[in-house]
Structures are given as structure tokens and as C-alpha cells.
Amino acid sequence: NIFRTIGYKKKYVKVPHGHIWVEGDHHGHSFDSNAFGPVSLGLLHARATHILWPPQRWQKLQPMLPPERKPLQREQE
Amino acid sequence: MFRNALGKTLRFLGYTVQYGCIAHCAFEYLGGIVVCSGPSMEPTIQNSDVVFSENLSRHFYCIRKGDIVIVKSPNDPKSNICKRVIGLEGDKVCTSNPSDFLKSHSYVPKGHVWLEGDNLRNSTDSRCYGPVPYGLIRGRICFKIWPLNDFGFLRASPNGHRFLDD
């Protein structure tokens, strides 16, 4: 996939094979792939599925891709 | 009689689960036996050699320059690769091939290591895909088990010139 990045050293980046691009939801205040680049899939530890505490924020986390962060071009496998 | 058989089956399953958990913890945290394939570590490790790897060094951050490590492949998380650590974070490494006329150097970024196979001519390593994050290291190879005529601790790197001392 090819992405437009926010504040990364290159304006457009192609995520290499076997890597992922991660971003925090709070752009500008997040230490994420815009700082350290694509992350190797082998480093992936787990996926957050629910918020348990505090009880008033108990919810299931929905996987959601903000429309402005969609990939510019999807490579055909 | 039927209850007897059922009891025995459940006990057997219980033992299997217990031994499975202990084996999993041992392989994950202590070490295990690994079969290596490929020519990239010759002559130190040949194709189909059996070696013993330990995982304690990785958890205690005791991986040193010159260690042979087993690492999850950066481009394919399902496969493992076996290479030698040439540089730790902050070290200066030579990124050009030995045959190049102009040598280029760079520093290993924080949290990464620089890996190279002993068989420099036939090895895809950090010279190809760059420095590898420390988190991908699975274990350190201590000694070789098979073939028996080569049993024992592993030799030092035949490429001593690749280690740049500041």
C-alpha cells in the first residue's frame, strides 16, 4: 500500500512486504510510524479489543480507518 | 468399567496438557533445539545442522557483538533467520560490500542490531534489508549438536574485518 504520511521524512511511503503502518488517533501528539517508519509484522504483540476500565468507558473497540488516511494505491497481490 | 476408561483418558489428557504447557514455556523462555537450513552461515553452520539455542540472553538483554542469533524475518514474520550480530545500537557498521571500491558507513539506530551471515557472498542480511529491531530476536545459538564431528561451541566469525571498533 502507498500512503500519504503526516510529518514523516518522505511525503509518500510504500509499506514494504511483511510490515504495517501504525498511527495514533491523535495526530501530531502521537509517537507512531510517522516518527519511526513501518513496523515489521513480527513485532506485532496483540490487538486491543475492549476498554475495561474506567467502567464508564467500557466499550468494544471498533476497527476504523479514517477516510482521509486511506491508502492511495493498493498493490494487487 | 466404562468410568475407569473415562477416568484414565481424562488423566492422560490432563498430563498431556501439563507437559504441553511446560514444553511451551521451556521453548519460549529457556531455549530449544533448532535445525538450520541454508548456506548463509557457512562455514560456521552448514545446511541441515542441528544447534541448541537459548532465549535467556534475549530477555536479559545480554546479546553481544559476534553472537549468532535466531531472528524472526523482518519481511516474513512466519519464518526465522539465523545470522551473526555485527553491530549493536550506536555501533558504526560498514554498509557497502567488500568488493565495492568506495566504502560507506552508517550507525545502527537505537533499538536495532546489524546482522550479517558468515558466508558474505551468499547471504541476504542487513546489507539487504537494513538494521533489524531488537524485538525480533528470538534466541542466541550456544553450540552445535549435529553433525557429531563438529559438536561443540561455535567458532568465532571468519569475517573479523567486518567488526569496526570505534
Q: Confirm whether B5 is domain-assigned.
A: no
**Interface test with chain A among B28, B72, B126, by most A beta carbons within 10 Å:** B72
**What ipTM, to 2 d.p.?**
0.72
Q: Which residue of B has its CA nearest to A41?
A: B77
Q: Confirm whether B10 is domain-assigned.
A: no
Q: Confirm whether B21 is domain-assigned.
A: no
The predicted-structure confidence for A10-66, as pLDDT tens digits, reads as follows: 777 888 888 888 888 887 788 888 888 888 888 888 888 888 888 888 888 888 877
Determine, for residues B77 and A41 on separate chains, whether the beta-carbon distance falls below 8 Å.
Answer: yes
Q: Are strands B92-94 and A12-14 parallel, antiparallel or unpaired?
A: unpaired
Length of chain A: 77
Q: Which residue of B has its CA nearest to A16?
A: B75
Q: Confirm whether B143 is domain-assigned.
A: yes
The mean pLDDT value of chain B amounts to 85
Q: Confirm whether B115 is domain-assigned.
A: yes
Q: Taking 50 as the threshold, does the pLDDT of residue A77 lie above it?
A: no
User: Tell me, what CATH number does B57's domain have?
Assistant: 2.10.109.10
String of DSSP letters for chain B? -HHHHHHHHHHHHHHHHHHHHHHHHIIIIIEEEEEE-SSTTTTTS-TTEEEEEESHHHHTT---TT-EEEEE-SS-TT-EEEEEEEE-TT-EEE-S-TT-SS--EEEPPTTEEEEE-SSGGG--SHHHH--EEGGGEEEEEEEEEESGGG-EEPPPPS-GGG----
The mean pLDDT value of chain A amounts to 79
Residues of A in contact with B75 (CB under 8 A): 16-19, 40
Determine, for residues A43 and B136 on separate chains, whether the beta-carbon distance falls below 8 Å.
Answer: yes
Length of chain B: 166
Q: Are strands B68-72 and B49-54 parallel, antiparallel or unpaired?
A: unpaired
Q: Which of B45, B40, B57 is nearest to B127 (CA)?
A: B40
Q: Which of B21, B32, B109 is nearest to B70 (CA)?
A: B32
Q: Confirm whether B8 is domain-assigned.
A: no
C-beta separation of B114 from B126 below 8 A: yes
B90: left (phi over 0), alpha (psi -120 to 50) or beta: left
Q: Which of B65, B38, B66 is nearest to B51 (CA)?
A: B38
Per-residue pLDDT of chain B (166 residues; tens, 9 = 90+): 788 888 899 999 999 999 999 988 888 888 888 888 888 888 888 888 888 888 888 888 888 888 899 999 888 888 889 999 988 888 888 877 666 777 788 888 889 999 988 888 888 888 888 899 999 999 998 888 888 887 888 777 777 777 766 4
Residue B159 CB neighbour total at 10 angstroms: 15
C-beta separation of B67 from B86 below 8 A: no
Determine, for residues B77 and A16 on separate chains, whether the beta-carbon distance falls below 8 Å.
Answer: no
Q: Taking 60 as the threshold, does the pLDDT of residue A75 lie above it?
A: no
Domain that holds residue B59: 33-162
At A5, the pLDDT band (50, 70, 90 cuts) reads low
Q: Confirm whether B28 is domain-assigned.
A: no
The predicted-structure confidence for B44-68, as pLDDT tens digits, reads as follows: 888 888 888 888 888 888 888 888 9
Question: Which residues 32-91 of B are in CB contact (within 8 Å) with A?
Answer: 72-77
Residues of B in contact with A40 (CB under 8 A): 72, 74-75, 77, 133, 136
Report yes or no: A54 at the B interface, CB cutoff 8 Å: no
Confidence (pTM): 0.78
Counted domains in chain B: 1
B162: left (phi over 0), alpha (psi -120 to 50) or beta: alpha
Beta-ladder partners of B84: B68, B116
**Interface test with chain B among A9, A19, A31, A43, by most B beta carbons within 10 Å:** A43
Residue-level pLDDT at A73: 63
